[in-house]
Each structure stands twice: as structure tokens, then as C-alpha cells.
Amino acid sequence: MTHVHATPHSTPPNPQGGEIYRLALPNTSSAAKLSRDFVASLLTVARHRGLVDDARLCVTELVTNAHRHTRTSLIRVRVIVQRKQVTVSVADDDHWALPEPPAFREMRKIRGEVCERDGGRGLLIVEQLALAWGMTVLGGCFPYRKAIWFTLGRARPTP
């Protein structure tokens, strides 16, 4: 399993022959459930049933983060379904509220810094389940949105 350490410059893979689906949700407490059901139904129809549980968990974490930590009016979910993998991104309009990557949290623990927040474990879950994940700030010199994304792939058959 390869990991992409999330930085503001990492970008999700470009779709090649995949289908793109989008869902825009109001920033409410039901956004996580709606996005979870949306992604699960897409993957079931696309015959990626083996990825449904991981995708539901990961998208729930990202949408919940957007809901709890931003003041965005809309949460945008984009799903790229390809033959062997799926990439899901969750975008919000608060480009300054970047989540702390798990690697940074671990470095602070190594240096003996106290982590006052009890949260932040959601991205650890995403990092463990995803083939790759990252953050993208959209808009260049005039950022207007950020997206957190992850890619899941079919498990390789065990010999």
C-alpha cells in the first residue's frame, strides 16, 4: 500500500476512462449520511462492492470534518469511478481550514508536544484504508476552496 503524505500541493489522480459523479450538499448534520449513501450506491452499481465499507467510512470522516470545522455553505462530493479504483474528494469553501496530516501529529508526539485536541484520528483512518490521499487548495494565488481526496482500489487476490 502506498501513501501520499498530504500537502497543500498534492492532487488527486486525473480520471482516465472513468465516470465522474458529483453531489452538492448543504452543510448540515445530515450531510455525512447523505454522502455515505451516495458513495455506497455508486460503488454497488459500479461493481466495486468490496470497496463500499472503506469508502463509506472515509467519506464520512471527510464530510464530518467539513461540517464541524468550516463555515462553508455547501459541501461538494466528487466521485471518480474507474475499472480498478475509485477516487472520492470532498470540497468546502474554507481553504484556510486545512486538516493536520497524521504524520505531523506523530512528529509532535515524538518531540514531546502535548496534543490538546482529542480529535484528528479520522485522517489516520483514511490513511490506513486508502491507496493514496491528499489535500488540494483550489484557486492558485486566490484560493477559494479546498478538497480532501482519497483513492481506494480493489484488493489483490491472495494466492
69 located within any domain = yes
59 located within any domain = yes
84 located within any domain = yes
**Residue 116, domain CATH:** 3.30.565.10
Q: Strand pairing partners for 86?
A: 81, 152
**127 Cβ neighbours under 8 A, 6+ residues apart:** 3, 102, 133
- What is the per-residue pLDDT for 71? 87
Domain that holds residue 122: 19-153
5 located within any domain = no
Give me the amino acid identity at 49: R
118 located within any domain = yes
- What is the per-residue pLDDT for 66? 92
Residue 10 has pLDDT above 70, yes or no: no
- What is the per-residue pLDDT for 101? 55
Q: Which residue has the higher pLDDT, 7 or 52?
A: 52
Q: Cell digits for 18?
A: 472513468
pLDDT digits (tens, 9 = 90+) for 20-60: 999 999 999 999 999 999 999 999 999 999 999 999 999 99
pLDDT digits (tens, 9 = 90+) for 75-126: 999 999 999 999 999 999 876 655 555 555 555 555 555 554 555 677 889 9
Q: Which residue has the higher pLDDT, 62 or 71?
A: 62
Number of domains comprising the chain:
1
Q: How many CA atoms are closer than 13 Å to the CA of 46, on its beta-carbon side?
A: 24
140 located within any domain = yes
Most confident of 3-12, 47-56, 102-111, 128-137: 47-56
- What is the per-residue pLDDT for 53? 97
- What is the per-residue pLDDT for 119? 54
6 located within any domain = no
13 located within any domain = no
Task: Say whether 16 sits in a helix, a strand or coil.
Answer: coil
**52 Cβ neighbours under 8 A, 6+ residues apart:** 39, 40, 43, 44
- What is the per-residue pLDDT for 110? 56
